[in-house]
Structure formats: C-alpha cells, structure tokens
Chain A
Amino acid sequence: MTAPVIELDNLRVRIGKREILRGLNLELRSSTVGLLGPNGAGKSTLINTLLGFWKPLSGTARVLGFDVRTDTRRIRELIGFMPESDCFIANMSAITFVRMAAELSGLPPDAALERAHESLFYVGLGEARYRKLGAFSLGMKQMAKLAQAIVHGPRLVILDEPTNGLDPEARIRMIRLIQEMRALGTMNILICSHLLRDIEETCEEAVILKAGVVVHHANLEEERASNRRFVEIETEGDDGTFAAAIERLGCACAVTTPGRIKTVLTEGIEIRDIYRLAADRDVQLRRLNYRRDSLEDIFLKAMEK
C-alpha cells in the first residue's frame, strides 16, 4: 500500500500562547481532498505546518511519507502551493514570474522557460504570458498563481481558496481546471476553501476542522453512494401495508407521518421494485426523492458538534 498523501498523528501546533491545532489525527489517501472549516478553525495553520512554516508542538505530520520536522526541504520539492493572498511581483511578466518559480524549485533555466510556457498555456494565460502581472485581472492573477504552483510538476498541490474573488465564469474555469488536474492522475490536490460547492465539485474526500480539531472526515464518493440508497416517498393510499411490503423486501422502513415513508434500499433492491409494490397494492406514489445530503448538510451537522 502506498504512503498516505497526508498523515497526521496527534498533531498539535501552538502559535504564541494559543494552541491552534489540538491533536489532529488524519490519514488522507484520496487524490483530491477538501479542507473546510469556519474562520479560525486552523486550516491555514495546518497548511503552513505542512509547508514547514510552523513547527509542531508535539505529534507528527507526514506529507507523502516525509516528516515535516526533518524533511522540510524534500517536502517542498514535492509540493506546489497556491496561496490565498496576492503573491506576485507586480513589475514582472507572467512568463518571467513562473519561470523564476520553476528555477527556484530546481529546474534548469531552459527547462524552466519551457515549462513556464506550458503551464501558462495550460491555465489559459498563453496569450497574456508576456504581460506584467500588475496589469492582470483578479481571475488572471489566480491563474498565474496556479501556474507557478504546478510548473515544476509537484506531487501534491495545495490550493488555498482557489476561487476566492472570481466571477462565476472564472470560477467555473478554475473548477474545470482542478477537475482536469485531478483527471491527469499525476498530482494529489489539497483544496482549502470556504465555498462548499467548490469542494463538492472537485474533491473525493473532505475534512472539516473546527477550533483546531477534526469534527468530520468524510469520503464524499461514499457519502454520495450511500445517499443513493436512502429514499423518501410520499404516498396516497394504505401506506401501512405498503411499508410492511417494503420491509418484507428486507429494507429498513419507517412511516414518519401519514403518507410519508422513509426507506433504505438494500443491495439488489431497485426503485422499480418499489413501483411494482405500489402498483400491486394500488398505492399512489405522489413523490419519490433520493436523500440529497449535501456537503452543506454535512458541514452544518459538523458545526453543531
């Protein structure tokens, strides 16, 4: 089994007198992981710790199998980081900026120039690559930040609020780009975002932090799959016998209020079996919904903990 992308073992980080991360335990193996949490939850501190900017007070954190305490340089070779805030040199052209970033990661000058061109074309800034970064729009700056994060071919890309401040069109472009990067299969992606929809659209796994602890760790693919088995039905007719018939199929079933049934379909039972039962018992199905437990529901539940 390959090493987890990120592995935290009772990680505690203190900044000043305040303990920001309070014993995090996590093992992240998915290629795209979303990091969620309200302001002050410790998301940025966790990212900064993974990058080696903060030293753990106790516990360990490993990135791609390397310890953040002892292998900081090796980790930084394998990581590409797109910060949330502005991080550019205004009087530099995009191509020079991305090339310099590649050279600082160790690429020889010629290879760095070639990769800088490729990265800027990849993020859609090919035509604007000789323009000064100071003259870029916010969306273009975000793309330039992404280009510098991936130019050296990192194995883990950390994106801090990648869609922050983007208009809907630019946001969609960024989301598509992240989905494309995920499909490439060559890099793992850790996305820190306040926008739950962004995480939902791009990530396989989500971690929710609150006050320095992990309050929820969900595999979004599994959550989606389990949601497809949970069905809410509104009926007209004898819902008691109908519910009993569903139970006889082996499905857990409950009549919440008259005319409203909730059931969890077991393996091998499909929606058409429910239709058949209803037809046999002359019960009208007024409404049939899969449970849509969105990430927002998960997040709100986690915040209540």
Chain B
Amino acid sequence: MAVYKRTYRAYSGPTTNPLWRFLVLQRYAMKGIFRSRMLFIGYLACFIGPVLAACVLYLNQNAGILAQIGQKPGIISINGTWFMNFLTFQGVLAGLLTAFAGPSLVAPDLTNGALSVYLSRPFSRAEYILGKGSVLGALIGSITLVPALVLFLIQASLMGMSWFEDNIFIAGGSFAVCALMMALFILLGLAMSSWVRWRIVAGALILGVFAAGKAFGAVLNAAMSTDIGHYLDLQHLLGVVATSLFQNPVPDESISALTASLVLVLVCGLLLLLINRKLRVCEAAG
C-alpha cells in the first residue's frame, strides 16, 4: 500500500541495541559535516601526508631505486622520532580539522533547542556527547592513529619481524599519543561549540586555545624566569608526552611525561565540565 494511504499506527517491531544508539547521531552529524565541499576536500587533503610517508617508507627500502641515485637502503632512519614528527604534522592538521568541523556539531542544536528532542528519548547526555564526539573522533583518528599504525605495519613488513619486535613501542606510543590528542581535540571542539554559537569565533577559539596558551606561557616564563608557563602550552605538554612514549632523547625538560599527562587529563576534565554545564535541556528550553 502506498505510504500516503496508510493511517497512523503504533510501532511494535524490534528496536536497536541501546548501547550503539549514539552512532545514529554520529551518522547524521557526519552527513551534515560533509555537506560542506570545502571541508570534504580539506579532509581528503589530510591524507596526502600519510600517502607521501608511505612512499618514503617504500622508497627507503627499495634497493633498486636507491642504487640509481647511489644510495643504500635505509637512507632515512625510521624510528620513534620519525613517527613523532609524522604525528606532529598530522596533529596540526587534526587541529585545523577540529576548528572547521567542531563548531557545527553542538551549536546548531543549542540554537534551535533540539536538545529536548534528543534527550526526551531513551538517549542520555553522555550518549549525546559520545555521539557528537565520535564524529570528531572518527575524523581525527582516521588522519592520525590509523595512518600511523598503517605506516608502522608497512615499515614492519619491509624490515621484518625483528624491527617489529624492537619498535613495538612506536605502535603503543602512537596509540597513546593519538588517544590523548583525540580526547583533547574532541572535548575542546565540543566545549567551544556549546559555549560559542558563532561558528567562525568558535573555530578561531579552538586554535586560539593552543596559540594563546603557548604565547601566554612563554610570556610567563620570560617575565618570571620560571618554567610554569609550559603548563599552559597544550602543544608543549603533548610534545613532552610524545617524546617520552616514542623514546626520543629528552631535551632539558622541567616537566615530566607523567605530570604533562596529568595536566592534559585535568584539562580534558575541565572541558567535560564545561560541556556538561551547557548541555541542559531545561536551560535550552528556556
């Protein structure tokens, strides 16, 4: 029967698993984000780095091609530092992606009072945050964690099992650093999106948190001849954690990796509090 000829009837069929219902929100939000052609092209451009890096790994072990330029395989040392540099580059792109995609996630729902539609259903605030956060998580993870692990596996397949065993810390480090970076970017994106309704300003603030923290920290360090300004520099804190996890030589560093990790976790907690404070139906409904 044609749908327009049917009358209203109560639904009595099976329902989906509540555990994975947050993915509904992710699916619709993802569609919304990729309606922007510029963002889609930007997202695709984020894969240029990983593709080039994969080429480098291949060429670095290709004796035939290297012989033509008079070099031997292993011209570039592929180690923790190489992977850290790769993740630093991809991390910057992830920050830019967050600044572009993040503001459109929560702000429109708050502006239009759509929270009451979501939360009057069997769908909690935590699931809402998880659903929206998983959008940024999928975007950031696909340009940082996934390429890093794929590159690790490519290098391991080229170098053999002994390299894999000796450098397994790179995979663990990539996972941990990406997880920390994703948590920070996701929460920052959602917090700015929920507190600042104007997309451009919210996007600028996401980047501004890093830039301002760095600048203010540097001023503080210079003015007070101290190192406590580093605690305000999120990029620096991520760098300290990554340096330790990728087993790179530690420069003269006043902050330990553990302290830096704790500060980053604290920042994530504060951002979560900010999000939680704003995502209230009754406030949204006025």
Contact = CB atoms under 8 A, between A and B. Distances in A.
Contacts of B15: 105-108
30 contacts: A48-B285, A51-B281, A53-B281, A73-B18, A76-B120, A77-B121, A81-B116, A83-B113, A84-B285, A88-B112, A88-B114, A89-B109, A89-B114, A90-B112, A91-B32, A91-B108, A92-B32, A96-B28, A103-B16, A103-B24, A105-B15, A106-B16, A106-B122, A107-B13, A107-B16, A111-B13, A114-B3, A115-B11, A118-B8, A121-B6
Contacts of B4: 117, 121, 126
A165 to B, nearest CB: 14
A150 B113 CA distance: 19
Most chain B CB inside 10 Å of its own CB: which residue of A102, A105, A111? A105
A48 B122 CA distance: 14
Contact of B21 (A74, A104, A126): A104
B251 interface: no
Most chain B CB inside 10 Å of its own CB: which residue of A48, A79, A100, A104? A104
A190 interface: no
- Measured as residues with beta carbon below 8 angstroms from the partner, the interface class of chain B is 35 or more
A100 B116 contact: no
- Measured as residues with beta carbon below 8 angstroms from the partner, the interface class of chain A is 35 or more
A136 interface: no
Interface string B21-34: 10011001000100
Interface of B: 3-4, 6-16, 18, 21, 24-25, 28, 32, 35, 108-109, 112-124, 280-282, 285-286
B24 to A, nearest CB: 4
A119 B8 contact: yes
A125 B223 CA distance: 65
A58 interface: no
Contact of A105 (B10, B28, B114, B121): B121
Given A100-B24, A103-B16, A106-B18, A81 B122 contact: no
